[in-house]
Structure 1
Amino acid sequence: MKRKFLLILSVAYTVFMAYLCFYYFTKGETHSYQVAFGGIFCGLVPLSLILFTKIKFNMPIMLSYFAFLFASQYLGSILGFYHLGWWDTFLHLLSGALLAFVGIALYERMTHQHARSNISYWLVFLFVLSFSVFGGVVWEIYEFSMDQFFSMTLQGGGNFDTMIDLLADTAGGLLIAIIASVRTKRRFKMS
């Protein structure tokens, strides 16, 4: 049931972005159809993973992924919410938290359940925070590369924009890393 729902959600997002790509292409709105074109690929990533791998997806993470895509691609880039000023920072805060949750899911997949009681809550904290911050850094490298090689303006405010984005990513990741380490510490005391 969960797999079927994620398939439908992935197809729906991909079709929505394909429609927007065609619509804005026919209107000659280059920026909007390019964003929508990128959205097609973002929608296809989970679809491809579902169809061609045996990865089991965490439903809240997948729902957050599509909500984030919608908020950044459609609301932010196409409808212009990024002009609000705070929208970009808000999304970086959310992406930091989302990446931290992905870090937690990876931690739980990569460690044996019985071994977790021997893993320090500090290590959990550092892993989750590092994973989240690393994702933010990779995104900023992407923005910088697109600006340099394709004359885009993803880093609208230059270094100031990059630092605000990284601080927001870190704050979102830090919050979830603290929660994860406190939960790990409590589990360790109960064992």
Structure 2
Amino acid sequence: MELLKNGHGETGERTVWWSVFILLAIGTGYMFASGENTKVIMGIFTLILMGAIAFAQRRLKLSLPSFFVNIVYGFIFISVGLGTFGGFYDIPHFDDFLHLASGIMLAVGSWIILQKMLGEQLTARLPNAFIGLYIICFSLASAAVWELMEFAGDKLLNFTIQGRNPDDTMIDMIDGLVGGTVTAFIILRQRQRK
């Protein structure tokens, strides 16, 4: 946590952001040159998302710790850079891995947000049942929002993210729920030890 207080965390965050942003911009350019218009649109949306995250980190009072934001940037690179541009989605269960990892990441993020919003003293007084339910619901709701965005992309922009199989949507949400639930139990266990 000392890294976050002395400014090195912010410098590292910028380095990771620029590294991922440049790699994704190069990938988007390559997809454009290859005539992969759908992947170009996904790349542009991802670059806009990264810009929005960086803006929120600088401007909002509830900015997230640099270590966590770096994990988010790494996840974005793996999912878009390797998955979409690199063809990793053809690897069996790569998508399951990503949705499970996103459930874990969202659960940790929801815990960080709750602590920042309420402060340490008030968070310490919350019952474990509430915290567990909050983390699980946050993870599942976030997975649902992601699936809604995939659905919108398929319907409005002619993407083929979800395909024609509704099982993919449900399995993705289950993966996110499992990741969020396991993480909620780990967070509650650590909380009880303290």
Task: Indicate whether the TM-score tops 0.5.
Answer: yes
Residue identity opposite 1:23 in structure 2: Y
Separation in 2 of the partners of 1:105 and 1:162?
27
- 1:18 and 1:117, CA in 2 relative to 1: closer, same or farther beyond 3 A? closer
- Is 1:39 the counterpart of 2:61? The answer is no
1:171 aligns with 2:187: no
Q: How many residues are aligned here? A: 187
Change (3 A) 1:138 1:68: same
Q: Please name the residue that 1:71 is paired with.
A: 78
Q: Give structure 2 stretches of 5+ with no counterpart.
A: 1-7
Residue aligned with 2:161, SS: coil
Give 1:7 deviation, angstroms. 1.8
> 2-side partners of 1:47 and 1:59: how far apart?
11
Aligned to 1:24: 31
Q: 1:14 aligns with which of 16, 21, 46?
A: 21
* CA distance 1:118–1:49, change in 2 (3 Å): closer
Q: CA deviation at 1:39?
A: 2.6
Aligned to 1:84: 91
Bigger mean CA offset, 153-162 vs 94-103? 153-162
| 1:54 positional shift | 4.0
Deviations 1:20-71 (A, max 9, x none): 2223212323233233222311321232123333444323321221111111
Instruction: Give the TM-score normalised by the residue count of structure 1.
Output: 0.89
Once residues 152 and 31 of structure 1 are traced to their aligned partners in structure 2, the CA distance between those partners, rounded to angstroms, is 6
C-alpha contact (below 8 Å) 1:7/1:50 kept by paired residues: no
Please, which moves more after superposition, 63-72 or 150-159?
Answer: 150-159
CA contact (8 A) 1:129 1:173 kept: yes
Q: Secondary structure at the match of 1:109?
A: helix
- After alignment, is 164-173 or 103-112 more displaced? 103-112
Percentage of matched positions with identical amino acids:
25
- State the AA in 2 paired with 1:45: A
* 8 Å CA contact 1:11, 1:44 repeated in 2: no
**Structure 1: runs of 5+ lacking an equivalent:** none
Tell me the alpha carbon deviations over residues 55-112 of structure 1, each in whole angstroms, 9 at most, x when there is no partner: 4432332122111111110111111111123000110000000000001101111223
State the AA in 2 paired with 1:114: Q
The residue type equivalent to 1:126 in the other structure is L
SS in 1 for 2:119: coil
Quick one: distance in 2 between partners of 1:29 and 1:112?
A: 47
Equivalents in 2 of 1:95, 1:69: separation in Å?
A: 10
In structure 2, the partner of 1:103 is 110
Q: Indicate whether 1:123 and 2:130 are aligned.
A: yes
Matched, 1:93 2:79: no
CA distance in 1, matches of 2:152, 2:113: 28
1:142 equivalent among 146, 149, 154: 149
Q: Distance in 2 between matches of 1:131 and 1:68?
A: 18
